[in-house]
Structure 1
Amino acid sequence: MIRLPFQPVATLKWLAVLLPMAAVVGSISAFFLWALDAVTRYRFDHPWLLYLLPVAGVAVGAAYHHIGGKSSGGNNLLMDEIHEPGAGVPRRMGAFVLFGTLVTHLFGGSAGREGTAVQMGGSVAAAFGKALGIDAASLRILLMAGVAAGFGSVFGTPIAGAVFALEVLVIGRMQYDALVPCFLASLVADWTCRAWGIGHTHYFVEITGPDPHPLLIGKVLLGSVAFGLVGALFAWSMHRLSKVFARWIPRPEFRPALGGVLVIGLFFLAGTPDYLGLGVLGNRPDAITLPAMFTGADIPYGAWAWKLLFTAVTLAAGFKGGEVTPLFFIGAALGNALGHLMGAPVDLLAALGFVAVFAAATNTPLASAIMGMELFGAGNGLYLAAACIIAYRFSGHSGIYSSQRLAVPKFHVGSGD
């Protein structure tokens, strides 16, 4: 008798759960991306909305505090549930984070979209798991697949979405038992999102050639150290500011009021609205935006530091949204500046910073390198991989996710590091 390398019945059962779950996540991501674009453009037309940011933040904070339950745990709650299923992921988490993120962007808070997509994906996966009564081991894999579906569909990077879900949980160890479910869920969610007519931002990076130039390699490695240090700085700033807000304002629902006032103050100090919101769209041709980092546009050398400060204040104060797109902005702006300073291709350095700062802040070098190849093409794969690996090594063991566990240190304490 021929023994099949898989169990047909079990496989069909998993497909019956994964495919509709991923399709739902992809559809929600499509709505989220459409709504995010709509509220951003509405804010451009009504810039006075920024002055209501403190009030809007308190409204969202109060909703989370009084009726959100455990939803405020966000990505860290999801990661805790994957590590040790038991407490449960609230079904309301997806709706709350969607509402909270759109409010943040409507009124000018500097935040991203990854956290929202991941939480929506995890919430949908948890709802499917509860409805079907699946066991704890299977629920763990289903939650990981939900994370992959959310990440892959919101960025249009299905391979990176799958690897991110496997890599982000534990530093130094990937859990391959969920590889196939995560890949299928990410792929189907991305297909579904695109089927709704939602497009993603395209970036053009010129291929430097098949033979790496030693001088360019040196510049890439030097820049990658800076990317790693800035990724660590972002994570440290987030955690430090969160503690400061908690100490100054014990009631979490009121912290966004102070955060909103500080963002308004930063807006006047910076003298531009370009560091508000997502940072992908601009309200004028010369706006400082993420796509502009890849061109010959005049980008201030300190743009990355301004965006880091705007985002750290926004999210540490309790506004909802993700960290990843701001990390892309910070990295691309830093890469743009380093490209000009070192005489290296600006578009290439911007692309490297885009993924390497993300790799450093999330401790996901493999997912970040793959994302770079999905977004910018594999022709510069050597530089993309090198940047993510070096940045990961120089970012230390901290990251933006406090529930991320450490399995294998990046360096040995006794080695002189």
Structure 2
Amino acid sequence: MFKNIFSKQFALLTYLTRWAVIITPAAVTIGSMVALFLWLLNWAIHFRFAHAWFLYLLPAAGVAIHLLYKWYGKSAERGNNLIIDEIHQPGAGVPKRMAPLILVTTVITHLFGGSAGREGTAVQIGGSVANQFGSWFNLTESDKKIMLTAGVAAGFGAVFGTPLTGTIFALEVIAIGRIQYGALPACLIAGIVGDVTVSAWGIHHTPYHVDIVDTGQTLYNVHLPVSFWLLAKVIVASVIFGLVSMAFAGGVKLVKNYCLKWIRVSWLIPVCGGIAIILLTFILGKPDYLSLGVNAEYPGAVTIVSAFHHAGADAFSWLWKLIYTAITLGTGFKGGEVTPLFYIGSTLGNTLAEWMNAPVSLFAALGFIAVFAGATNTPLACTLMGIELFGGEYALFFAVACFTAYFFSGDNGIYSAQKTAVPKLIADESNYLKRMFSKYKL
């Protein structure tokens, strides 16, 4: 018996050591590329701040991005969906050109004012580098799946400074309702090493602050740890977060499909998108909804950071950011969806807090993670993100918000390659509701 136990433990130790040796150099490379990307992105955003007229070159930048992918991109243009497909079923692999192409084109998008994010870039860098290292180590097909998943974890954890979130996100995003724990050790190593590497390069992430809120209540002289009135407000807000997640995913697809249907010349699609962004900015009279939305271009600008403060967002800031991002990504500009989702969620949380007389910073934080959870179908990862970014004091509310938004965000998300392992509404429950509606003629 002792021999058998020792044999299993030794095999486990060998397995962990093997993956640590394989993953560590790949994660260091991914973290270094993400650090370079974040540095270039910060430079591009502040350069545009100093040269506001760069926005008028956005249509030309869109054409340049279109031509780069037409001449050199090939399968790389599928982005995150290609990586998810390769994890489901390895095929032609992730091209080496994906990493430099997405890095350069995302920086171009932000340099000229396009409303996009950075997670897509980091994930594609992670997938491309991981695939290359997998080829060098001559991994089997099953190990390549783990390697690609770990690359996603490294990229995501590195770009946001959330290694645990990156770990679970990489496992959870592949299929709705299922997590493959076999890749957990590799993903955890990758997430931690990628994040540490970015920090070692001197890159710092934006801090967010949630005010101290008394989330309990006193009932019949007994203090309860949870206020049911506050919890009810959180649930109502989270339903709205989920519906907005669904609107975001549908909006990007709607713009893309509409452009493909009505604009026959492909390079004119980003031109039209760029012109639309310019006109919207001119009509609104402020540049708040361009680029990431993290740094303030001028005092009083609406940003993700400002949304954590009273009167830090306009009533419809979330809607304008949704429209800007749907146009940007739907017309072919590059970048991620996640940071715009943070902006949409935090500003919507700010607005709902004002309407519902709720704690502003807490609801901004809830929107920050819940809209993201609904759009990506990753409620567990987003709950962990809330804890990593805002602290564990409100973990219960984070979980309620993320899972509520997840269930109310519809059957699809921003990643078309994401498969459904377990439906959100199981068949028996759906049939039960149909029978009830039929019985009472509803």
TM (norm. structure 2) is 0.92
CA distance in 1, matches of 2:353, 2:345: 12
Q: Alpha-carbon deviation of 1:282?
A: 1.0
Q: Confirm or deny: 8 A CA contact 2:312 2:350 kept in the other structure.
A: no
Q: Confirm or deny: 8 A CA contact 1:65 1:253 kept in the other structure.
A: no
Q: Specify every segment of 5 or more residues in structure 1 that has no aligned partner in the other structure, as ranges.
A: none
Read off the aligned partner of 2:403 and give its amino acid letter. Answer: I
CA distance in 2, matches of 1:144, 1:372: 22
CA distance in 1, matches of 2:77, 2:194: 25
Q: Alpha-carbon deviation of 1:133?
A: 1.8
Instruction: Establish whether residue 47 from structure 1 lines up as the match of residue 47 from structure 2.
Output: no
Instruction: Establish whether residue 163 from structure 1 lines up as the match of residue 144 from structure 2.
Output: no
Instruction: Establish whether residue 126 from structure 1 lines up as the match of residue 131 from structure 2.
Output: yes
Partner of 1:338: 352
Q: 1:208 aligns with which of 176, 197, 213?
A: 213
Q: Confirm or deny: 8 A CA contact 2:310 2:350 kept in the other structure.
A: no
Instruction: Establish whether residue 279 from structure 1 lines up as the match of residue 293 from structure 2.
Output: yes
Instruction: Establish whether residue 137 from structure 1 lines up as the match of residue 111 from structure 2.
Output: no
Read off the aligned partner of 2:431 and give its amino acid letter. Answer: G
CA distance in 2, matches of 1:130, 1:29: 21
State the number of aligned residues: 417
Q: Alpha-carbon deviation of 1:266?
A: 1.3
Read off the aligned partner of 1:301 and give its amino acid letter. Answer: A
Structure 1 range deviating more: 331-340 or 236-245: 236-245
Partner of 1:35: 40
Read off the aligned partner of 2:233 and give its amino acid letter. Answer: K
Read off the aligned partner of 2:344 and give its amino acid letter. Answer: I
Q: Confirm or deny: 8 A CA contact 1:74 1:115 kept in the other structure.
A: yes
Partner of 1:56: 61
**Secondary structure of 1:379's match?**
coil
Q: Confirm or deny: 8 A CA contact 1:61 1:254 kept in the other structure.
A: no
TM (norm. structure 1) is 0.98
Q: Alpha-carbon deviation of 1:212?
A: 1.5
CA distance in 1, matches of 2:95, 2:206: 32
CA distance in 2, matches of 1:190, 1:376: 17
Read off the aligned partner of 1:185 and give its amino acid letter. Answer: A
Partner of 1:195: 200
Q: Alpha-carbon deviation of 1:339?
A: 0.3
Q: Confirm or deny: 8 A CA contact 2:168 2:381 kept in the other structure.
A: yes
Q: 1:347 aligns with which of 361, 376, 388?
A: 361
Instruction: Establish whether residue 416 from structure 1 lines up as the match of residue 433 from structure 2.
Output: yes
Q: Alpha-carbon deviation of 1:86?
A: 1.3
CA distance in 2, matches of 1:206, 1:5: 46
Structure 1 range deviating more: 133-142 or 98-107: 133-142
Q: Confirm or deny: 8 A CA contact 1:149 1:182 kept in the other structure.
A: yes
CA distance in 2, matches of 1:232, 1:415: 25
Q: How does 1:352-391 map to 2 (within 5 A)?
A: 352-391=366-405
1:208-266 residue CA offsets vs partner (Å, 9 max, x unmatched):
24622111111111100000000000001111111111112345444211111111111
Q: Alpha-carbon deviation of 1:5?
A: 2.4
Instruction: Establish whether residue 99 from structure 1 lines up as the match of residue 113 from structure 2.
Output: no
Partner of 1:310: 324
1:105-126 residue CA offsets vs partner (Å, 9 max, x unmatched):
0000000000000000000001
**Secondary structure of 1:378's match?**
coil
CA distance in 1, matches of 2:111, 2:416: 28
Partner of 1:5: 9
Q: Alpha-carbon deviation of 1:9?
A: 4.1
Q: Alpha-carbon deviation of 1:298?
A: 4.0
CA distance in 1, matches of 2:264, 2:166: 36
* Alpha-carbon spacing, 1:216–1:71, altered in 2? closer, same or farther (3 Å): same
1:78-106 residue CA offsets vs partner (Å, 9 max, x unmatched):
00000000121000100000001000000
Partner of 1:397: 411
CA distance in 2, matches of 1:299, 1:342: 15
Structure 1 range deviating more: 69-78 or 406-415: 406-415
Partner of 1:68: 73
Q: 1:89 aligns with which of 84, 89, 94?
A: 94
Q: 1:292 aligns with which of 306, 309, 327?
A: 306
Q: Alpha-carbon deviation of 1:13?
A: 2.8
**Secondary structure of 2:203's match?**
coil
Structure 1 range deviating more: 407-416 or 194-203: 407-416
CA distance in 2, matches of 1:357, 1:372: 12
Partner of 1:326: 340
**Secondary structure of 2:315's match?**
coil
Q: Specify every segment of 5 or more residues in structure 2 that has no aligned partner in the other structure, as ranges.
A: 217-224, 435-442
**Secondary structure of 2:79's match?**
helix
1:124-150 residue CA offsets vs partner (Å, 9 max, x unmatched):
001111122211111100000000000
CA distance in 2, matches of 1:252, 1:187: 41
Partner of 1:221: 235
Instruction: Establish whether residue 183 from structure 1 lines up as the match of residue 185 from structure 2.
Output: no
CA distance in 2, matches of 1:226, 1:403: 25
Structure 1 range deviating more: 242-251 or 106-115: 242-251
CA distance in 2, matches of 1:6, 1:380: 40
Among the aligned pairs, what percent are the same residue? Answer: 51
Read off the aligned partner of 1:199 and give its amino acid letter. Answer: H
Q: Which has the larger radius of gyration?
A: 2
Q: Confirm or deny: 8 A CA contact 1:79 1:403 kept in the other structure.
A: yes
**Secondary structure of 1:259's match?**
helix
Instruction: Establish whether residue 239 from structure 1 lines up as the match of residue 253 from structure 2.
Output: yes
